[in-house]
Amino acid sequence: MPVPQHIFDPPFNVRRASHVVLDVTNLAAVRTFYENAIGLHVEDADSEAVYFRGYEEQQHHSLVLRKAKENACRRMGFKVGDEADLDKAASFLKSRGIAADFSEQPFQGRTLQFIDPLGYPIELYAKMDKRPHLLRRYDLYKGCHPQRFDHFNVFANNVQGTVDFYAQLGFRLTEYAEEDGPNGRIAAAWMHRKGNVHDFAITNGRGPRLHHFAYWVPTAMNILHLCDVMASSGYVSNMERGPARHGIANAFFLYVRDPAGHRLELYTSDYNTMDHDHDPLRWSLRDPRRQTLWGAPAPKSWFEEGSPYTGQAVHDPLFVADVIVAS
C-alpha cells in the first residue's frame, strides 16, 4: 500500500477522538448496561437522551445515548484545539466540496457537523461544558472503572481511501495490516492525533459501519472484574471476545455488545507515539499474533457485525482479504 506521510501542519488541529452519539431503541435498557455493568458516570439524562463520562474526563460527556427508532451510530465526535480551528475546518471542507453545518449542540456549544467523503458522520467542536473530574471520587467507582474515551474503529469499504483522507487531516499511521507482496493492499490501519496508538482505526469490510468505540481502563484486573460482573448481571451473552491481548497496540482487551448491539472495547496498555519520527508498524495479514497474541480466535460476529450510521447506506468492500477472518 502507499503509506501516507505524517503531516505535522494539518489544515486544522484535531486534538483527539472525544465522544460518540448512539441511537438506541430501548434507552432504559442501554442506560442500565453502561451505568451499572460498565460503570460510566451518568452526567445528565432526560426522557430522550443520557449523557455519560469516564472518571478522569473533565468535560460533560463522551457517550450520548439518544432514543430512536433504529439502533445506529449517529455521530463520531472529535475535539479540535480552539474555535479558530473550527473555522479552518469549515473552510477546508468547503474547499473540498463537503457540506458542513454549524449548530449549537447540548452541553458542547458550537459544533461543525458533516458527512465525510467515505460516509462517516463526524462532528467537531472546541469547548464542551466542563465538569470536575472524578478521579479521586473512588467512592463512586463502579464496573470496570472506565477512565476516558479513547478511539473509534470503523468498517470501511475503502480502507486506502479512508486512510488517505484522514492522513490529510493530520492523523498519523501507527500500525497497519496489509497483504503480502509488492501490490499488497491495506486491510486495516490505526491512526492517531493525541499521541497514543489510535484515535481512529479502519478495518476492511462492509461499510461505512462502526466496528466499535473504546474506553481506557486502569488495569487488566478491572477488565477481569467486569467479566465477573457481567456474568452475574445477566450479560454473559454480551461478552463477545476476550479478555486477551492484541498484538496490535499491545492492548489488553474485552469486547462487549450493549443491549442495542453496539460494540464497546474496554482496554488498557498501549504505548506513546508522539515522536515525529515514529514509524508505523506493519503487520502481515498472515501473522496471527496481530489479532490475538495468545492465539485464541475471535468469533465470526466480531469480523462481520457492526453498527450502521444513521441514514448512511452500506457498501461491499472494494476487495476481500479473506485471510483476515481466518486469523
Minimum distance from residue 208 beta carbon to a second copy (Å): 27
Does residue 133 bind a second copy (CB under 8 A)? Answer: yes
Reference 290, options 221, 203, 211; nearest CA is 203
Q: Which is nearer to a second copy, 81 or 311 (CB)?
A: 81
Q: Which is nearer to a second copy, 234 or 311 (CB)?
A: 234
The window from 109-117, 170-178, 239-247, 317-325 that contacts a second copy (CB under 8 A) reads 239-247
Q: Which is nearer to a second copy, 85 or 116 (CB)?
A: 85
- Tell me which of 29, 48, 271, 311 binds a second copy, using CB under 8 A: 271
Does residue 289 bind a second copy (CB under 8 A)? Answer: yes
Say if CB 262 and CB 308 are below 8 A apart. no
Q: Rg of the Cα trace of the chain?
A: 19
Does residue 245 bind a second copy (CB under 8 A)? Answer: yes
Q: Which is nearer to a second copy, 28 or 296 (CB)?
A: 296
DSSP-derived 3-state class of residue 30: helix
Mask: binding to a second copy, 137-156, rule CB under 8 A, as x and -? xxx-x-----xx--------
Mask: binding to a second copy, 81-120, rule CB under 8 A, as x and -? xx--------------------------------------
Q: Which three cell numbers stand for residue 284?
A: 502481515
Does residue 5 bind a second copy (CB under 8 A)? Answer: no
**Within positions 59 to 78, which residues make up the interface with a second copy, using CB under 8 A?**
59
DSSP-derived 3-state class of residue 273: coil
**Within positions 210 to 229, which residues make up the interface with a second copy, using CB under 8 A?**
218-221, 224-225, 227-229
Does residue 301 bind a second copy (CB under 8 A)? Answer: no
Does residue 58 bind a second copy (CB under 8 A)? Answer: yes
- Tell me which of 2, 275, 300, 313 binds a second copy, using CB under 8 A: 275
H helix intervals, the chain? 27-32, 83-95, 159-168, 220-231, 300-304, 323-326
- Tell me which of 232, 286, 304, 326 binds a second copy, using CB under 8 A: 232
Q: Please report the DSSP string for 179-245 in residue order.
A: -SSTTPPEEEEEEESSSSS-SEEEEESSBSEEEEEEEE-S-HHHHHHHHHHHHTTT-GGGEEEEEEE
* Strand pairing report for 109-115 and 172-178: unpaired
The window from 23-31, 102-110, 112-120, 134-142 that contacts a second copy (CB under 8 A) reads 134-142
Report CA dihedral (255, 256, 258, 260) to the nearest 10 degrees: 70
Handedness of CA 74, 36, 135, 267 (dihedral sign): negative
- Cα–Cα distance for residue pair 317/327, rounded to 1 Å: 19
- Tell me which of 3, 98, 239, 325 binds a second copy, using CB under 8 A: 239
Q: Please enumerate in sequence order all residues whose Cβ is within 8 A of that of 220, keeping only pairs 6 or more positions apart, or say none.
A: 243, 252, 268, 269
Does residue 195 bind a second copy (CB under 8 A)? Answer: yes
Q: Which is nearer to a second copy, 73 or 167 (CB)?
A: 167
- Cα–Cα distance for residue pair 100/87, rounded to 1 Å: 11
Question: What are residue 80's DSSP bridge partners?
Answer: 14
Reference 49, options 105, 100, 102; nearest CA is 105
Residues that bind a second copy (CB under 8 A): 8, 15-16, 36, 56, 58-59, 79, 81-82, 126-127, 130, 133, 135-139, 141, 147-148, 194-195, 218-221, 224-225, 227-233, 236-237, 239, 243-245, 247, 250, 252, 269, 271-272, 274-279, 289, 293-296
